[in-house]
């Protein structure tokens, strides 16, 4: 082999020509783990306490109107790993998912726009405000999930009481693919198809035959909760308890091609088995309290808290209470990995 000086100068010559030899390592932590058996992720496990989120969201309501960037009053949950990145890349709860919390006050109207990142709304508190998606009016009530598929026009209206909901977006994934598009609605606000109707024309699973694409859809909490309770006595998933996925109404598959929403009931005192997968999940504790063990470390959560389980980390959930049930709402990027034939999962040892 040639001497070090010659090797170094060759590397420099390569670099000067926009080339690099495969023998080159790197100095950063990430470089060191470029080739390993287990996937390496920058996403960190983290819990955002609801008391903190809520306090600051209300403060935002006091001092921020809806004017400005895209007419929305949201707080984004930023993964600690991304805190110092430029804004577009910082806006990420995991590398693929962004969860935000949005407040709309009575009398407010959040103007219409559309974009190719998909969005979910999961209602946390407040009742009677509505979101308008492609002219359909969806009244929001706690526990409801409303889909806002890519490129559908949407705006929000509140003539009722203050409302707080979670936004789930595949923005970081689309941003990494560098395909983001966003545009304001041409005109004031979308025309609502039938403003006398309290809710959307499309309810449940019967849909117009002439509509081929997945339109907006609402999953009412009463239906979701009844299903959870109906299945309470069943075995459930060993890793997730009584877990449901919100299926896509058109093809019966995942909620969206990029990301999926789930809700799970952890019964009184229930502890799930450990497993891991290369999809990442963002959770919201809708009811109850508990503990999620992530790579051996305990993360405690109570009602309202949001937390991240990064990809390939071992995890199990525990409902800490013997007397109260716990319900976790969550979203994950499994559909995207499955579509690319990259999805992997592994059960843990024992239990």
Is 173 a binder of ligand GTQ (CB under 6 A)?
Answer: no
Q: Which of 70-78, 81-89, 279-287, 313-321 is the region at the interface with ligand GTQ (rule: CB under 6 A)? A: 70-78
**What is the smallest separation between the CB atom of 141 and ligand GTQ, expressed in angstroms?**
17
Identity of the residue, 39 or 184, whose beta carbon is nearer to ligand GTQ in the bound complex: 184
Neighbours of 157 (CB within 10 A): 17
* Near ligand GTQ by CB under 6 A: residue from 103, 129, 132, 169: 169
Half-sphere exposure of 284 (CA within 13 A, CB side): 26
Rule CB under 6 A: say whether 70 interacts with ligand GTQ: yes
Q: Which is nearer to ligand GTQ, 73 or 315 (CB)?
A: 73
Question: Token pair for residue 302?
Answer: 């109570």
Residue 167 touches ligand GTQ, criterion: CB under 6 A: yes
User: Residue 154, interface with ligand GTQ (CB under 6 A)?
Assistant: yes
Beta bridge partners of 86: none
- Identify which of residues 102 and 272 has a Cβ nearer to ligand GTQ in the complex: 102
**Under 8 Å CB-to-CB from 157, ≥6 apart: which residues?**
108, 109, 110, 129, 130, 131, 132, 189
By beta-carbon proximity to ligand GTQ, the closer residue of 46 and 154 is 154
Q: How far is the CB of 175 from ligand GTQ (least distance, A)?
A: 12
Q: How far apart are CA 85 and CA 90, in angstroms?
A: 5
Distinct helix (H) and strand (E) counts, the chain? 7, 22
H or E element at residue 287: strand 281-287
Q: Is the dihedral of CA 180, 184, 186, 189 positive or negative?
A: positive
The verdict on 220 binding ligand GTQ (CB under 6 A) reads no
Q: Which residues bind ligand GTQ (CB under 6 A)?
A: 70, 72, 74, 100, 102, 119, 154, 167, 169
């Amino acid at each position: 082999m040639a001497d070090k000086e010659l090797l170094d100068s060759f590397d420099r010559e390569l670099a000067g020509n926009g080339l690099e030899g495969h023998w080159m390592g790197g100095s950063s932590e990430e470089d060191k783990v470029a080739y390993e058996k287990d996937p390496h992720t920058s996403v960190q496990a983290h819990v955002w306490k609801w008391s903190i989120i809520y306090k600051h969201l209300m403060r935002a309501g006091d001092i921020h109107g809806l004017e400005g960037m895209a007419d929305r009053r949201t707080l984004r949950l930023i993964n600690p790993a991304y805190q110092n990145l430029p804004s577009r890349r910082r806006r990420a709860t995991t590398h693929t998912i962004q969860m935000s919390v949005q407040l709309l006050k009575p009398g407010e109207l959040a103007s219409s726009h559309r974009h190719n990142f998909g969005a979910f709304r999961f209602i946390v508190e407040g009742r009677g405000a509505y979101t308008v998606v492609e002219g359909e009016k969806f009244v929001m009530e706690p526990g409801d999930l409303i889909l806002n598929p890519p490129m559908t026009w949407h705006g929000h209206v509140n003539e009722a009481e203050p409302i707080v909901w979670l936004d789930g977006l595949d923005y970081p994934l689309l941003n990494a693919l560098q395909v983001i598009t966003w545009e304001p609605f041409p005109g004031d606000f979308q025309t609502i198809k039938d403003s006398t109707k309290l809710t959307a024309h499309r309810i449940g699973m019967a849909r117009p035959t002439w509509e081929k694409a997945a339109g907006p859809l609402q999953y009412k909490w009463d239906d979701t909760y009844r299903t959870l309770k109906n299945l309470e006595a069943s075995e459930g998933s060993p890793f997730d308890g009584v877990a449901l996925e919100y299926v896509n109404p058109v093809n019966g598959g995942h909620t969206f091609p990029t990301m999926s929403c789930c809700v799970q009931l952890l019964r009184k005192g229930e502890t799930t088995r450990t497993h891991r997968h290369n999809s990442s999940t963002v959770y919201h504790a809708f009811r109850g309290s508990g503990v999620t063990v992530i790579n051996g470390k305990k993360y405690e959560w109570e009602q309202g808290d949001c937390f991240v389980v990064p990809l390939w980390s071992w995890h199990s959930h525990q409902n800490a209470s013997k007397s109260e049930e716990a319900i976790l709402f969550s979203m994950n990027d499994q559909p995207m990995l499955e579509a690319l034939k990259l999805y992997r999962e592994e059960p843990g040892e024992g239990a």
